[in-house]
Structure 1
């Protein structure tokens, strides 16, 4: 036959297609494993599929020119491709399972790949896989590579169960989802995870940067923290193992985290931060400013986090938008509950949504009326004067016989950073932490004697009356509810000098103890914020204004002079205490005759 060079390529191409079809038909009928790897497997560098898994006489040529099928051939070749992929998955996985059974070395790692997995919500995808998987599994290092979702599992039985989920899940468009499972080396995030000593040091560093009053964690420029650098710990948050360690500590130690600052950490991808939805679901404020994020796609990895405030300024992605409105709209598509972006309120004009209602600015103490103000301040002054004297049995007359009391701290018992709050945690009845119903009942103190005995074992204190903020919650003829917040200092014991913050809520009825009697009380103790610590014991307690006449009778003047001599108080304050107690000298003298009360009288009350 005469050789026609112009027809040769087409003849060779047709001949190759015929050979391929015949060989594939024979391979399929015999169950042969002589199948090439899929593009997903080649790209990821998984365990090799050639060698013993390649059929005899088959040679892979990486430089071979690829042919593209005609339109009428797509259906046939796509069907062939699907079958090929399924056959390619079978042999390396089964071989790995057999090797694990034979060698008795459990714990091999497998990589699970979901093509086009990026378009699915992570939680939905994992929940769907779990619902079809015959055994429970824990995904390790879930992340995205281009359009694919990937994660790792350990144990061959789990890998086999996941392999069986292939093509069993349908998305909203009724398309079946492919799942590939391949043997893998140990994931980098597992190989490079922090050791226990490094985790403990990271925990210490994060506690120093945590404000439990505000619920904020400042991890700005974490890599350059002196404590971490001094212990040779390189915390690069772009690395998934570093971010995973950080989120693990947040989950275990700061479950109530409200605000997270990751400013200036050179973040260019957020694969590791995608776990924040599960590890820190209560975060409402996230600061990612001054990083190196180039695409909004990175933010999609956190889609589902109910953010109210987000900072992105200083990232290259901010320059990808033609105007501010487009920028805001794109971010709102990911975080629809967002109220502030880069520190700016998102008004209804800018984003087309109803403008959020802002809470009123804190105005300090609220009493309702001058009469109630005088009554409550008088009560608090006397209550804390006795509380700080050391012998708290004098508080018995402040409580109803069947009063109720509970104490709460914000920490968990296993935390190694409670400090002096350990003394309070022993009696803490934190309902979010304490799940034992019997223990809850036990920690609820009934009767005034049980309450005062419970208060007496707490550390001895000195309250800063000038720090008090009092709020009147409600008022009735027969009941008054109010709360007081402030700081106190521990004056004895291992934590002497430590300053703590507190909020104490009282429900009272009319009584003989300065006009009020406590029927229900809750005490909440926590660590101070930096601002509270700075201003502690710097402002004297304001004295309620008095409108009574300044001219006293002879008998009243003698009572003032006697009280001043007995207690060491100035005449002005002696007169005030007598007036506030309806000039009942016996009652006032009884209070100031309690052991150590005189030593606890504030300096500004004593005579100069």
Structure 2
């Protein structure tokens, strides 16, 4: 963490050591971290503390715009904070260069207007009256006009950090298992003080902030880390800043990923990944077809397609595609190795959307029209597919369209990569064609290097080669195509 100090350091240090009596100018110092909101509050403060030569207690920590701010009182502490420069690393042990500004300050507001003991006692009694023991719920709706507080001339305005801090202190001490907190109708326009709820009331699952003055979701980000399951925001100006419900939900869930209800409406279960728990991918359950009729149709189609594909001349595949069909090829994207040599023959045609930033190239690599597609297939390495490795999944079907994918392995049979085993996944969108066959409308091919286990098990069953004896498996249309192609001298039937 890089710490930058306003002005020349030596004159500032001399000023810091002057007037250290509590409440006098110069005894308090403001520490501002411009990018502090990007980091977890606990991690940030622990990181600063671990590299600071003297222990300190941050006072009035809060977020400002995109940054974070807190106060310290002793000049020795302020001076020590200036020495933390470049000493803080992130979780991957990389340097985090964040400017941190240290400057003199007046007494913080929360200290200047700290509640007196008798006021804290009355606030505690008021909160206890509003607490529902059976539901572990605390109702602080319209707290500022509570007769028990107004009658004792106590101003509890929750926009003020001293009021919110005092409230959270009482909650932590008296309601340690609080589940529901209602802060509606308190004219809240910022949540600086409420950021401490993560430490003071971490058990809260239901939070009601409705009918307040919150204008931006950024205010909610100050409470990131609170594991909310239900949130109420209706009646705040921020609700009108979203074009639709889905955008609204997505923005709120960026702050609270485990949210199940928003403004009283059930939300779809969040998709979360527990990175701390090892996850084993379940083994494939085998092919899924939906019906025996579809199984027969698709398997016949795949056998015909790959017999022609592997025969040496792929021009015969022209009849398998619709005139306006599309095809795309993708190989894995590795940032450190954008053109892996093992797949270099596939790289120039790869349309990996993580790699491609040029919109014109994205269009260019989407092969359109069947003869362009087949020409692209013809320049790819010659292959031999292992039919015994195929796993087929039927995932959508209508009377006029069939969507299915096939995964398996193949090996290259010529050139410098001869014998190399590849794994592939191919997704077809097809329409019915003559002779009870299929016509491909869209074809997406993904190729990668096969894993060791895939390489060891490859070609456990001999793969048939396209000969005259296999012609009976082809449709009449494909037989005609192959016969016509074989009249060319360079083509072997």
The alpha-carbon deviation at position 175 of structure 1 amounts to 3.6
**Is the contact between residue 285 and residue 309 of structure 1 (CA under 8 Å) also seen in structure 2?**
yes
Corresponding position: 1:225 with 2:164: no
Q: Deviations over 1:161-217 (max 9, x none)?
A: 111113322447744122222221110111011111111111110000011221110
After superposition, the Cα gap between the structure-2 partners of 1:139 and 1:353, relative to the gap in structure 1 and judged at 3 Å, is closer
Corresponding position: 1:184 with 2:92: no
SS class of match (2:138) = strand
- Structure 1 distance, partners of 2:160, 2:151, is 20
Higher relative contact order, chain-length normalized (CA < 8 Å, sep 6+): 2
Corresponding position: 1:96 with 2:32: no
SS class of match (1:301) = helix
After superposition, the Cα gap between the structure-2 partners of 1:89 and 1:266, relative to the gap in structure 1 and judged at 3 Å, is farther
The alpha-carbon deviation at position 333 of structure 1 amounts to 1.3
After superposition, the Cα gap between the structure-2 partners of 1:233 and 1:89, relative to the gap in structure 1 and judged at 3 Å, is farther
- Structure 1 distance, partners of 2:26, 2:170, is 25
The alpha-carbon deviation at position 352 of structure 1 amounts to 6.3
Corresponding position: 1:275 with 2:181: no
- What is the match of residue 153 of structure 1? 72
- Unaligned segments of structure 2, at least 5 residues: 274-493
**Is the contact between residue 165 and residue 179 of structure 1 (CA under 8 Å) also seen in structure 2?**
no
**Is the contact between residue 5 and residue 100 of structure 2 (CA under 8 Å) also seen in structure 1?**
no
Match of residue 215, structure 2, among 284, 290, 294 = 294
**Is the contact between residue 20 and residue 26 of structure 2 (CA under 8 Å) also seen in structure 1?**
no
Corresponding position: 1:122 with 2:18: no
After superposition, the Cα gap between the structure-2 partners of 1:321 and 1:106, relative to the gap in structure 1 and judged at 3 Å, is closer
After superposition, the Cα gap between the structure-2 partners of 1:87 and 1:352, relative to the gap in structure 1 and judged at 3 Å, is closer
**Is the contact between residue 168 and residue 176 of structure 1 (CA under 8 Å) also seen in structure 2?**
no
Aligned residues: 269
TM-score (norm 1): 0.42
- Structure 1 distance, partners of 2:55, 2:103, is 18
**Is the contact between residue 222 and residue 235 of structure 1 (CA under 8 Å) also seen in structure 2?**
yes
Match of residue 341, structure 1, among 262, 273, 284 = 262
TM-score (norm 2): 0.51
**Higher share of residues assigned helix:** 1
The alpha-carbon deviation at position 239 of structure 1 amounts to 0.6
- What is the match of residue 167 of structure 1? 86
**Could you say what the CA RMSD is over the residues aligned between the two structures, in angstroms?**
2.6
The alpha-carbon deviation at position 107 of structure 1 amounts to 9.2
**Is the contact between residue 6 and residue 101 of structure 2 (CA under 8 Å) also seen in structure 1?**
no
State the structure with more CA Rg: 1
Q: Deviations over 1:223-274 (max 9, x none)?
A: 0101111111111100111101100111111111111000100100000000
- Structure 2 distance, partners of 1:161, 1:106, is 20
After superposition, the Cα gap between the structure-2 partners of 1:327 and 1:99, relative to the gap in structure 1 and judged at 3 Å, is same
Match of residue 194, structure 1, among 100, 110, 115 = 115
- Structure 1 distance, partners of 2:148, 2:20, is 46
Corresponding position: 1:216 with 2:108: no
- Structure 1 distance, partners of 2:207, 2:231, is 5
The alpha-carbon deviation at position 87 of structure 1 amounts to 7.4
**Is the contact between residue 100 and residue 156 of structure 1 (CA under 8 Å) also seen in structure 2?**
no
- Unaligned segments of structure 1, at least 5 residues: 1-81, 355-608
- Structure 1 distance, partners of 2:262, 2:192, is 22
The alpha-carbon deviation at position 99 of structure 1 amounts to 2.2
- Structure 2 distance, partners of 1:288, 1:352, is 25
**Is the contact between residue 26 and residue 106 of structure 2 (CA under 8 Å) also seen in structure 1?**
no
- What is the match of residue 26 of structure 1? none
After superposition, the Cα gap between the structure-2 partners of 1:156 and 1:324, relative to the gap in structure 1 and judged at 3 Å, is same
After superposition, the Cα gap between the structure-2 partners of 1:123 and 1:291, relative to the gap in structure 1 and judged at 3 Å, is same
Deviates more, 1:122-131 or 1:282-291: 122-131
- Structure 1 distance, partners of 2:134, 2:82, is 48
- What is the match of residue 205 of structure 1? 126
Q: Deviations over 1:281-315 (max 9, x none)?
A: 11111100111101000000000001111111111
- What is the match of residue 160 of structure 2? 239
- Structure 2 distance, partners of 1:101, 1:225, is 39
Mapping 1:102-501, distance limit 5 Å:
108-171=27-90, 174-348=95-269
- What is the match of residue 488 of structure 1? none
**Is the contact between residue 168 and residue 177 of structure 1 (CA under 8 Å) also seen in structure 2?**
no
**Is the contact between residue 6 and residue 102 of structure 2 (CA under 8 Å) also seen in structure 1?**
no
After superposition, the Cα gap between the structure-2 partners of 1:266 and 1:92, relative to the gap in structure 1 and judged at 3 Å, is farther
Q: Deviations over 1:105-161 (max 9, x none)?
A: 999211111122222221221111111112221111111222221100111121121
